[in-house]
Structure 1
Amino acid sequence: MAMTSISSATVYADEGGVSYWLPGRFGSLAATPQVPGWSMAEVYYHTSVSAFGNAAAAREIHVGRIPATVNVDLNLHLNAHADLVLLNPTYTFATPVLGGQLAIGVTGLFGRSSANLDGTLTAAIGPLAITRMGSFGDSITSVGDLYPQATLKWNAGVHNFMTYVTGDIPTGAYDSRRLANLGIGHAAIDAGGGYTYFNPQAGHEFSAVAGFTYNFKNQDTQYQNGIDFHLDWGASQFLSKQLFVGLVGYAYQQITDDFGAHPILGGFRSRVFSVGPQIGFLFPVGDMQGYLNLKGYGEFAAENRPAGWNTWLTFSISPMAPTSTVTPTRRVATK
């Protein structure tokens, strides 16, 4: 199941190393239809990343507001961590829309973000040069932006299809002078589609969801992130009607340049790939269906963004399917 989009401003890409899209939001069973009614997903998300080079320099430039006319030489190291709790209420409609199943929801988050930057900065204006060494850190515990989402899903036997639209309402804690934030300081809209193959008899499952993000300008900094492409995927094998194991992964690639970046950063297009394990378990909760999922990602081939690892622990509850089946026709939040 897919949860609505979220963003942890703990240094990921684009302006100052922060992107709207957080890879890994969609996973196994993303496009399978749900049981109509209300559902609620709660997610604990942890990430730990680090960066050198431009990915670290972007934060110093962003926070320090280094003028474009100043020549700089940056030798920096960035570490960032976040622990977030996300709540995602969703309502799935029983009446078909365009022959598919409509669901709408919104995600809110609360948590802590921290970042530390250390190294050397040398700035030169003409014949004058100034070198600064040291480190500084920042942390914040607060609420993040709001992320509404709508999905349409269709089923044709073992084949399932979906389309979605989501976005960022910049209501969370954000200050352009801070090293760590829980909001991104600008609006964004994201749309895409996905597919799930699920064979209940064999227990085989594979899902992939791709989309594009358009970012609006940050009015505080006059910086506008480029357009981002992302692909989330999950593959699993059901060992029983309740338990499955498998793999998850994602690919993220910025496809247009940022606007408003310091010349030293250029277009600052970012990229990252990731893969990791997952396990999921379905169980009854009274007359509702409960779901637990744990998945982890190890990142590699990062460019202009930090690399590290992140884990998602999801608990969700939703209406029970009218008949017992291997197919979890519900909102399985594999975050």
Structure 2
Amino acid sequence: MTHNIPTRNSNHWRTCRSIGVAVLMFGSLSEAAYADESGVSYWLPGRFSSLAAVPQVPGWSGAAVYYHTSVGASGGVAAAREIQIGRIPGTVSVNLNANLNAQADLVLLNPTYTFATPVLGGQLAIGVTGLFGRASTSIDGTLTTLVGPLATTRTGSISDSLTSVGDLYPQATLKWNAGVHNFMTYVTGDIPVGAYDPTRLSNLGIGHAAIDGGGGYTYFNPAAGHEFSAVAGFTYNFKNHDTNYQNGIDFHIDWGASQFLSKQVFVGLVGYGYQQVTDDFGQHPILGGFRSRVFGIGPQIGYLFPVGDMQGYLNLKGYGEFAAENRPAGWNTWLTFSISPMAPTSTVTPTRRIVSK
């Protein structure tokens, strides 16, 4: 059995640089990610993964992502959603024994331009992500409200679904390469132009602006085929003027580890951690600070291939979530297809051939 293991100056190395933009997991899906107000956060855990900090080949690139999630929660998260849509008055005490279930099937489109001229010694890229798709949410159970000495109990279910477009998510990255070490910084945010109504259970916009920034690192040794990436950042959420609610500050870290089996195929693991670090403002007293947390981990596989004179890339990854607080948890999958400029062949050197015995 033989493996073509790429060297640092090989075509494979330059190809991986060209697809880096595709494996930055783009826009943050409000109804697919739950935390903060009514369990919905701006940041979508899993947005970044393998090769996140590797520079790309300059020029235009584009990516499309199909994203599916299925999550559930009970208690305070279900109560928060009913409070938001006005089913529970903010002036009463409540005891909710209910379950919330949500699903989303979304498509994200992400054009990006990578500049050839260095900025601060690094490579600048700018892009924007838009999304469209369908989200559905349901709550069922028993609600008891207390107003003074009077108690009212209601049993039943409510549900809602929406097919529309979401917010816009601009992003800028700056990346540096030093041998097998790659570094990046980024800034992104939310422009709240998507479908949003505070009285609906399901939305594809979050109803407020947000700004997020952070940094990351990728170790990539093409000679051995080893790769590891980690990107961490903080989100500042602006006030939702429809609900007079402001989410706290969120911390998140995404990571990916992979092994290239050949010049075209790699396999590995991906994961994330998400922790809200300051309290929300404007929440119902029963929710307290409503700080949220979740962790996720799962497998991934990637495949590189030529598309005419461009470079194509496919990636499939999935996460199972655990240790969630004040946030629905479940599982989610990402299927990414991207196309980007092919590395110049004039700089390609032959790959080293390793024979396994």
TM-score range, shorter chain: over 0.9
- Tell me the distance in 2 between the aligned counterparts of 1:303 and 1:316: 34
Corresponding residue for 1:270?
A: 292
Aligned residue runs from structure 1 range 50-61, under 5 A: 50-61=72-83
Corresponding residue for 1:331?
A: none
Aligned residue runs from structure 1 range 202-217, under 5 A: 202-217=224-239
Query: Does residue 243 of structure 1 match 2:274?
Result: no
Shift of residue 5, structure 1, vs aligned partner? 3.0
Q: Equivalent of 2:307, from 275, 285, 303?
A: 285
Corresponding residue for 2:330?
A: 308
Corresponding residue for 2:141?
A: 119
Corresponding residue for 1:131?
A: 153
Shift of residue 4, structure 1, vs aligned partner? 3.2
The verdict on how the C-alpha distance between 1:255 and 1:112 changes in structure 2, with shifts beyond 3 A counting, is same
Question: Residue 35 of structure 1 contacts residue 92 of structure 1 at CA under 8 Å; is this kept in 2?
Answer: yes
- Tell me the distance in 1 between the aligned counterparts of 2:211 and 2:221: 33
Shift of residue 53, structure 1, vs aligned partner? 1.5
Shift of residue 55, structure 1, vs aligned partner? 1.7
- Tell me the distance in 1 between the aligned counterparts of 2:297 and 2:350: 26
Corresponding residue for 2:31?
A: 9
Corresponding residue for 1:93?
A: 115
Shift of residue 58, structure 1, vs aligned partner? 1.2
**Which segments of 5 or more consecutive residues in structure 1 lack a partner in the other structure?**
328-335
**Aligned residue pairs, count:** 327
Corresponding residue for 2:247?
A: 225
Q: Greater CA deviation, 57-66 or 296-305? A: 57-66
Question: Residue 33 of structure 2 contacts residue 42 of structure 2 at CA under 8 Å; is this kept in 1?
Answer: no
Q: TM-score, normalised by structure 2?
A: 0.90
Which one-letter code corresponds to 2:290 in the other structure? F
* Secondary structure of the corresponding residue to residue 60 of structure 1: helix
- Tell me the distance in 2 between the aligned counterparts of 1:56 and 1:131: 16
- Tell me the distance in 1 between the aligned counterparts of 2:191 and 2:182: 29
The verdict on how the C-alpha distance between 1:38 and 1:316 changes in structure 2, with shifts beyond 3 A counting, is same
Corresponding residue for 1:330?
A: none
Give CA deviations for 1:49-93 in whole Å, capped at 9, x if unaligned.
000111222111111253333111111101000000000000000
Which one-letter code corresponds to 2:131 in the other structure? L
Query: Does residue 322 of structure 1 match 2:313?
Result: no
Between structure 1 and structure 2, the one with the greater Rg is 2
Q: Equivalent of 2:205, from 177, 183, 204?
A: 183
Identity %: 83
* Secondary structure of the corresponding residue to residue 263 of structure 2: coil
Query: Does residue 164 of structure 1 match 2:192?
Result: no
Shift of residue 8, structure 1, vs aligned partner? 3.0
Shift of residue 152, structure 1, vs aligned partner? 0.1
Question: Residue 296 of structure 2 contacts residue 321 of structure 2 at CA under 8 Å; is this kept in 1?
Answer: yes
Query: Does residue 70 of structure 1 match 2:92?
Result: yes
Corresponding residue for 1:79?
A: 101
Query: Does residue 259 of structure 1 match 2:267?
Result: no
- Tell me the distance in 1 between the aligned counterparts of 2:25 and 2:75: 33
**Which segments of 5 or more consecutive residues in structure 2 lack a partner in the other structure?**
1-22, 352-357
Shift of residue 280, structure 1, vs aligned partner? 0.1
- Tell me the distance in 2 between the aligned counterparts of 1:220 and 1:101: 39
